[in-house]
Structure 1
Amino acid sequence: GAIFDESAKKDEEVFRMAVADLNQNDEILQTEKITCSVTFVDGNNPFQAVQE
């Protein structure tokens, strides 16, 4: 999973692409696949990030 600041839409895209690349590489993940869980939080509210 990942927690991003609301302004980090590009970071989410990169994260999802990295997970997809890992899932396609059978040498790294032979039998398992991983899934994405992304949450966006207000960058000015550190308590929200901790709660997530």
Structure 2
Amino acid sequence: MPAGAIFEENAARDDEVFQLAISDLSLNDDILQSEKITHSIKYIEPNNPFQAVQEGE
């Protein structure tokens, strides 16, 4: 089950929290018995909503 996130380049803490949350969900058999979550992260320039929309497509 894929999950994705888009962060500004200076949001290292958000990136870490996202990865920990995905890891915790993947390891919790009560939530996902046979599925594992994979994730991808993309970085954008700060304050560039147009790039965020473009990366999200």
TM-score band (shorter)?
over 0.9
State the SS of the aligned residue for 1:51.
helix
**C-alpha separation between the residues in 1 aligned to 2:43 and 2:8?**
6
State the superposition RMSD in angstroms.
0.7
Unaligned stretches of 5+ in structure 2?
A: none
Give 1:21's match in structure 2, choosing from 24, 28, 40. 24
Per the alignment, residue 32 of structure 1 pairs with 35
Per the alignment, residue 5 of structure 1 pairs with 8
Unaligned stretches of 5+ in structure 1?
A: none
- Deviating beyond 2 angstroms after TM superposition, the runs of 4 or more aligned structure 1 residues are none
Q: Give the structure-1-normalised TM-score.
A: 0.93
**C-alpha separation between the residues in 2 aligned to 1:35 and 1:2?**
11
State the SS of the aligned residue for 1:2.
strand
Larger proportion of strand = 2
Identity across the alignment (%)? 62
**C-alpha separation between the residues in 1 aligned to 2:17 and 2:44?**
17
